[in-house]
Structure 1
Amino acid sequence: MTETPIDPDEARHELYRIMKTDLPFEQKAAQALELGTRYLGVENGHMTKIDAETDYWKATASTDPIDGAFPPGLILDLGTTYCRRTIAQDEPIALHDVPNQGWEDDPAFEEHGLECYHGTTITVDDDVYGTVCFVSTGPRSDPFGSDETMFAELIARMLEHELERRRTEAQIEQLDNFASTVSHDLRSPLTVIQGWIEATEQSANIDYLRKVYPAVDRMQQLLDDVLAAARSGQVIGTVEPISLETITGTAWDQLETGSHELVVETDAVARADQGRLQAVFENLFRNAVEHGSTSSVSAESVTSGSSSTSSGGLTITVGDIRDANGNPVGFYVEDDGCGIPESDRESIFETGFTTSSLGTGFGLSIVQSIVTAHDWSIDLTESEAGGARFEITNVDFQ
């Protein structure tokens, strides 16, 4: 435990300073937790993500080092933690000396031997997200004071606000992109329709109206894709354990895959909204099979390869990404085509961006929206074969 006391006003000012920085959320959380450990005089602080229905507990941020007992990314059974009791009640739990407070038979103490614990619940959109907790292997000499509990709650509320703000900003940005894309892309088919209607009026030849149908179909396709993209970015539904091997097979079966081949090299179980995760794979696979056999490279063909011909298909591979300890942290989808030009990579996720005259440019936008809604990250790189490789990380695994 640290022995350096911090003045309450100084601690609050430092916390406000941390939260006002432009640092990534994970760094803000780590610095706030470090400040909390100093103020409460404990060994470590953790921000957790919890799903009580599946007995899931994950340290999303932690002051413990990577080789410590509770490092960032650690996954435990919720039933073996004090946090299970924290989320079950309205007030924080403050345990300064677990064995002498009647908790010596608690599964959390029996499993981890932590004699000091202070936990506060975090909620996002009125649902339990997880906790902010501070722990030590040994007891404190004195109970937690009201000022310490208030400061721990302040950290939890500020991290909670940051999570909600980040989600809201992503949704607003997405809606702005949709509005801009729709207003731009609808102009062309509307102009076509208007022109043929005027021609019909001037010539009295109703056969001209047949020329309107392709433009109407184009508008319908665009509106359908906009609706799908808008729904994909909404708050996700039920999160549950999902086998990547199973859901990739289900997504593949929804498509006409022709001579293309799917190879799945993972048995990992991710935690996600099943429908949304299937949509991610369907969009990645669909773009591959639709564009991978042509001689043109499409920015919308996620795993395309212009070197492919109609006589041969792509091999699309799905595998997991693991950290230094061998734990899964994400998954990838890659192909053996020619990849996506570097000049297009910065724009590839923009709503409406496509180099295909038939595409709407919503495929990758939908993928990114679903990834963002899960608080994941997505990056485009190159596969060993020179094709496209999409890496989705910060994924929660069972």
Structure 2
Amino acid sequence: MTATDLSAEERIRKAIDVGQEHLGVDNGVLSYTGDGRYEVVETNIQSGPYAQGGVVDLDGTWCRHVVESSETVGFADARDSEYRDDDALGITGLHCYVGAVIDIDGETYGTLCFSDEEPRDDPITDAERDFVSVLAEWVGSELERQKHYAELREQNERLDEFAGIVAHDLRNPLSGAIGFTELAQEHVGGQAADFLDRVQGALGRMESMIAECLMLAKEGTDVGERTQVDLDGVVRDAWDTVRTRNATLSVEVAAGTTVLADEARLRRLFENLFRNCVEHGGPDVAVTVTGDAHGFAVSDDGPGLPADVEHALTAADTENIKSFGLGLLVVQRVISGHGWDLAVDTGDEGTRFAVSDVNAAEPVHEALAGD
């Protein structure tokens, strides 16, 4: 079994065992020292107040000196050190001690210490103090990683909750508004009908934005299992779902071309690119999709995009992409999630989004499955 096969708790316990053996002492303890208490988080001690889960007053421990100074403290025999009259000697009964502070995100979490009731014959060396300090830094990094994973899980749970609220509390009234607008369109004409057409278009766009928000919240950027997707078919399906007005589509894809991708996300990519072409190129824009085994491109003959949009997309500048709408952010996320490359060329004669390296490498999950 390798270190990567162990849980975080097992790796920390292994570090304690390594430190105990290296220093030649009986005890190793990872402690939490918040709120003036000394709580044993992990240890090899099996019973007594310093067993795992035990809580004592920090002021009665040697570790309080480590917490107060934020420096590594060590001595082979407390009676022959500056701590000979310290209350901790009588309270703990520990004569030999080495401890270092553990920081998480710049704040003191606790200590990693090694101790023994019997004095050690050899003095604690600077090298041994450095060893405990390095070990404490590693344990701190491991705890920090656990904390961040926990925060990420909590954040994902909040995103799932938010996605559920969006799906229920926004989509339901929106569906009602779309339905009543369609009914009203059947009974009016003239300018009123034109206004209702605009309302219907705005409601449809709102529905698309909700779907995009849900995708970003629930799916993030990582792409899991992929399949061989027929490029011509997914392009035409995406075009049929977008309100393209008088825009035209030309598909120039080599026969039998497939893309190794998440089909649903690939379709969203094309939907958002087509919508962007129509919004920025005008209602009569001509859109062309080309593609082969190495990649694909979406081009239009519109007036082109602002230079800052082009830069934000190719530089994967998420914060600036957001300012240009969710559609382009979805495009960037789908491309980066697949590990593809994006090039944007825009000018007075139109805009071209070119995606390359679509089949350049086998996905990690498939490589693992083949082992």
TM category (shorter chain) comes to 0.3 to 0.5
Structure with greater helix share of residues:
2
